Structure 1
Amino acid sequence: MHRCVFSHGGWIMAAPGGGHGPVEMSLSLMEKLKVLPPDPARGAAAPSRGLWDAWVMSAEAEGPGIWPPAVHAVAYGTLGKSPPLPVGNVNDRPFLLHIGDVGDLRKLSFVCTEGLHGKGILLSKVRLKDRDTREELGFEAANVWLFGKDGTEPVTELAVIRPDCQPLRDVEYEVRVRTGDVPAAGTHAPVHLTLVGEFGDTGPRPLRRGDHRDAFLRGQTSMFTVRAVDLGPLTSVLVGVRASGLGSGWFLDTVAVRCSPGSPGSRGAAGHAELLFPCRQWLDDGVGDRSTERTLRLLGETRDGLGETLASHGGSWTLRLHTGDFPDAGTELGVSVTVCCRAGAALPIGVPRGALRARGRHYEASLVLPEELGPVVKVRVEMEEGEARDSWYCRKVTLRRQRQERDGRGGSGEGDGKEILKFPFVRWFSPENGGQVSELPLLSSGSPESPIPVVLEYVVSVRTGSSESSATTARVWLTVTGERGDTGRRALARRRGERSFAKGRVTSWSLEAVELGPLREVLVEKGPGSDWHVEAVSIREGPFAPFEAVFQAHRWLRDGAAGPTASVRVPLTEVRPSAVTMAPLPSDAPAPKSDGRWRVELTLGNEDDDDGDGGGSARGSPGRRQQQQQTLLLPPGLCLVVYGSEGKTSPLPLVGPRHGTGDGGASSTIAFEASRPSSTSSLSPSPSSPSSPSSE
């Protein structure tokens, strides 16, 4: 017995002339799989152990003579993915893939880490068979080049073909990477990126510079294309740089992703929406937390007509709260949603317990925003406290302006129901590690080059007094207020095994919130229970921020007749340098040591710039521009002296390879390779210069 799968992948149009008669068309055979009937003697089918026999067949007559050991396969399913598994051959001989329990398979990803020496492999067939359930799966592999025709693509993905559902389509993702505009932000090190969605991920993909010399340099935006089987709604981006040593890091500003408009996987107009994943951090093993790899969470989407800045979003709206469509995504706990506007917040919308129990469903409520609150700036979602195992996956929150009856003058009232504000949370809520509250801003139409509000991690440290009876066992809440809004009331939950609010103790928590701007005050609240002496609160934008805001309280919070809670508002006292601005080196990591080789870049500006910073536009005749280009030929005796914390170098001749990028425009850059003795130690500004030499 065989199971035949026929492919169409297109619209079935109505009969010509708008009639209701039958429509005939031909469907091509995609896959023919052998299906064995159940054996009554064996009883019920045995559960799968995740052991699959695999057949991979090349369309070439003999296939590659020596199969490279660097080729692996990764299986993606509804419950996760397998580790990289070695691919035995492409000569249609069976080999074993121990995939494990990943749920229903969605795609198979072939990964090559060493390249195939200038030629890919043309496939004709890929097939999998479960050793226990005897289930067979096919793939649309005919005439597909494994790792590209020239063998330079690191990954090739194939979607599983099932008769009961449409196979996932191939999608081209356009990726825009913007490097920050801060000193030494750029990097020449290799950069890799992984797109992550609800259906899986792409695996690490190298972002090759190709002909783009300015890729990953300061202030530059670089474009790349990533082809993969449809990932579903994107949730995050993993970015890394393979660099180590002083000055080799990279300051990443933003990653923006969208489906190519002509891609088979783009979904109509939604395919043109650009998803933003902000970073605004260093990827550097010598800065901050020393991380060279970061996971960027989805902030929102922008496209023309989405979330333009308005004077007010006042009126009637329909709020929808969407739960993810996969196992255990729902929750029995209650949830609240707060819409925050420029002039204040609307009353929270409470979702009763059990309303979000079902996966893939949404809860709907009506909301009226007063005109005086102004435009919407962000949405806050909070899940009530529960057990550590309680969790809920929120896919998104939407606000749709309600359709109004036409008024007596023929107007359409407040709106026609087409205005929608979207907040793609795509994240799990859990009582563990303070993950019960999350915020997202409303993004205006624009691009990553425009300033956008981002979600920051605020590290809050609370110091309890050292006098007798200063400690408390009561519940404590904190509200942080800045020039751009507040965090809302956040519970400072006690962690198991930690003595929070103990005498003389400093305890820290992490709060995620849309950036608040310069901080102004904190509101500290204590519930019923023992008295508490709060001495001070300090807040940093991340664990290794260079500065911290300090709020000196020195107040007792006691139960009284004023209400069930005692509170104190504490204004900002001072902003001071943080005590810890860099993570310690691992105990087994060698201290970074320079070998004395440096890349020196000279940026030559246009002498006609009005402000003298090289940022003006080039002017003048073609002869003048040619003269400017000739300034790239520097005099042969030009030298550089580098000052460090332990002395200075001898004059370093600027000789050797030069990489000019000047085109007669506003500025031109020449790169040199220079050497200096390692005894100079870390660089410091020259006594005659107000700033440090660039080491980008």
Structure 2
Amino acid sequence: VTLMKTLTKDKYNFPCERWLDTNEDDNEVVRELPAMGRQIYRVTICTGTIGGSGTDASVFLNLIGEHGDTGDRALVNCKNNINKFEKGNLDEFIVEAVAIGQIQRVRIGHDGKGGGCGWFLEKVIVREEGQAEAHAIEFPCKSRWLDRNEDDGQIVRELVPFSDGQRLYNVGYHIAVKTGNTPGGSSDSTVYVKLYGDKGDTGKMMLVVSDNNLSNYFETGHIDVFTVETSDIGQINRLMIGHNNEGMRAGWFLDSVQILVPLNGKHYMFPCHRWLSKGEADGKTEVEIYPSEILDTEQLINYELTVVTGDEMFAGTDAKVFIQIYGDKGKTEVIKLDSRSNNFERRSTDIFKIEAKDVGKVFKIRIGHDGSGVGSGWFLDTVEVRYLTMAAVPKEKKKEDKKTKKKKKKDEDEEEEVEEMQEGVVTYRFPCSRWLARGEEDGELQVELLPDGAEELEVNTYEVCVFTGDVLGAGSDADVFINIYGENGDTGERCLQNSDNLNKFERGEEDVFILTAIDLGPLKKLRIRHDNTRPYSSWYLDRVEIVDTKDDTTYYFPCNRWLAVDEDDGQIARELVPVDEAFMKKDEDGEGGGNLLCFFLNVIPDKICKIETFF
């Protein structure tokens, strides 16, 4: 092949002299022809050993290096096995390409075709031809599925050469594709997208597994959401989107594309509103579009969560599991841990990647489940939380020859080491080894855990006394929930389940609950509510008293209001602040004339500049 640069008339020759034929030479139909520098890579694909690991789908691979990539290569000609990608196989392939420098990433996937196409990949090993096996680069997949019905449903993954926190290094791009309301605008074709940013591009990515699990993709008026994970390409400046023009209804009317990138704190709007069809408009099935608007959003970070279920009888659960992470910069939202796989089974290790607020140094987590399903009890062994952070490490010194070393002065040897910032993985391990089940131990469905080696905080017990008022219809049959806030965080919302009374929250009664949490420090407020799910849900709450058993301090939270949709202001949740004991004693003695004034003096003393009394 000869290329000529038309402006300068320079010519470049690319010799080949080889077959591109499935029946000749090495049977390859794709060749890379370098003007200089050719490299052969030996690639070993390791399939996992669990049941159903193998696949009959067509597998492809792309080696990504510091000077470019090989492009997607079909892995057809295995050098050591006739039946490729079977359970426990180590399949070897030769990839011939131009020299792309140090291999930094591997993109591997399959076409998702054929029965039982799901694939459980353990790792990929790459080494340059002629190098010793000790110099091979290992790209662990952390034994993950490439299967629409398992894990996160993805059938293409990008792997990095790090065993610790492997999922943290990719950026998630959440792509919402809206099909127009134009008659006949839906499509049965396979849609693909390629994103371009100021740091590179993603390559062509097939949109085959949606997050919102619609049965048919790209239907008229529908929005399909897809997540793809790849390297950080920086700020997106354009995208290419198209389809393969296959199926009964191939033509497609694309209305718009939106892309959310939480790790970069960006939300991109790409209007399109045009046909991608051979028989409509200009006949194109592929188009490049540019963002009309780029919005700033809250910037999140990646967390990798490893949850280990214990080896007790009936340790697994089918309930919905959640977690909340607390750090010195705040807390995450309550995050559901779920996937398409059967998680939290006995002796299982489940790994999740989540995008959440950067909470800084983690000091506790809360994990639990909702108790749904048959046999929902769960024996939790351990939880590990990982995230990336920048840290200063000594900079490697360049090797110098002997002459240069002799010229250096003695005092230069005493100079401080030069440091540079590098990205590394921070790991927190939270031992648990307890049941989260109504019929086991303390009956709690959630627990707060401290990391190994934590000395600043400790577990504390709070005695929560709830007083229902003595007015007509004051009692409630609804489920009641409470969240207590202190200087060191909050307890999270807890269901008040186990009272010393069989029938809870009855008129004029006191119900006592024991709540265990990481020490909150001085209490600041509480939020109490009910779920309004039963016929007699309306509730008149008199007050809540909380005893901190660690230092034997009692906090008083007066309410004296309805939590009811048909009483008072219609609210079923109240936030209460503590008052001093003198306030409560005045109320009990019947000297209530100044109670309301005293209460507000406790709540907002800094805002009061003048007081007039009318009592």
Same fold (TM over 0.5): no
TM bin (shorter chain): 0.3 to 0.5
Q: TM-score, normalised by structure 1?
A: 0.33
Q: TM-score, normalised by structure 2?
A: 0.37
